Amino acid sequence: MRDDLHKTAKCAPVWQELFRLGLNGADRANPKRLEDATAKALKRELNVELSAAMKSLLRKLETQPSLLEIGELIAGFEPSTPFEAAFRTELRTATGPEGYADALNRALVQQHAAYMREFDCRMVEGRVFERADVEKAIAAALNDATVREACEAFLGSTKLEPKAEPLNLDEVLAPADKTQKEQGR
């Protein structure tokens, strides 16, 4: 398998990074790393793919959650990205702040599915034999908790906390247990 297959995917670098982690068997074995990369990609999607007008609309909806006003606010809004269009469609059925968050969650899941289709095309093209394992690992990383965490980080402007332990290269390259080192000679 090619090492640079993730770079052929036509998506943002954070999504390419998620794809790279999914392709790497060692990273697939650590689901927390995939969840961290998924949350980071979702938050990027919210920060970049939503226009200032949509972010302003979200703030209005959070402060004035009236079903009658939603129709008026959405009717005058013209989406500028496919993600915004999906979010606008989901907003039509939303009520209250929880409903807006759910609409945002559903739009993110749709966006993730679109990227998964792109990744699948790249894997077929690159002849990735572990395709099912890669798809399963990336799909498992997109769980309700990860989507909610990204949405809460976006809406509350909080920082995403990593769940995976950071890699310590000293431990990887030179294990602390001397018996391991001696047995390896």
Q: For position 68, what pLDDT does the model report?
A: 56
Burial of 160 per CB tally in 10 Å (0-12, 13-18, 19+): middle
Structural domain harbouring 127: 5-184
**pLDDT at residue 75 greater than cutoff 80:** no
Distance CA 146, CA 185 (A): 43
Cβ within 8 Å of residue 80, ≥6 positions away: 51, 53
**pLDDT at residue 119 greater than cutoff 50:** yes
When divided into structural domains, the chain yields a total of: 1
DSSP 165-176: PPP-HHHHHS-S
Model confidence over 11-30: pLDDT tens digits?
788 888 888 888 888 888 88
**pLDDT at residue 173 greater than cutoff 80:** no
Is the separation of the CB atoms in 153 and 108 below 8 Å?
A: no
* Closest by Cα among 151, 184, 134, 136 to 9: 134
Distance CA 27, CA 164 (A): 11
* Closest by Cα among 104, 99, 89, 103 to 66: 99
Cβ within 8 Å of residue 123, ≥6 positions away: 5, 23, 131, 134, 135
Q: For position 18, what pLDDT does the model report?
A: 82
If you average pLDDT over residues 130-143, what whole number do you get? Answer: 84
If you average pLDDT over residues 109-130, what whole number do you get? Answer: 78
If you average pLDDT over residues 134-153, what whole number do you get? Answer: 83
Q: For position 1, what pLDDT does the model report?
A: 47
Tell me what the pLDDT averaged over the chain comes to. 77
Q: For position 65, what pLDDT does the model report?
A: 59
DSSP 5-68: GGGGSSS-HHHHHHHHHHHSHHHHT-HHHHHHHHHHHHHHHHHHHS-HHHHHHHHHHHH---HH
E strands, 89-149, are: none
Q: For position 154, what pLDDT does the model report?
A: 81
CA–chain centroid gap for 26, Å, is 20
Model confidence over 77-114: pLDDT tens digits?
788 888 888 888 888 877 776 777 788 888 888 888 88
**pLDDT at residue 155 greater than cutoff 80:** no
In the chain, the percentage of residues whose pLDDT exceeds 70 is 75
**Taking the model in full, what pTM does it have?**
0.74
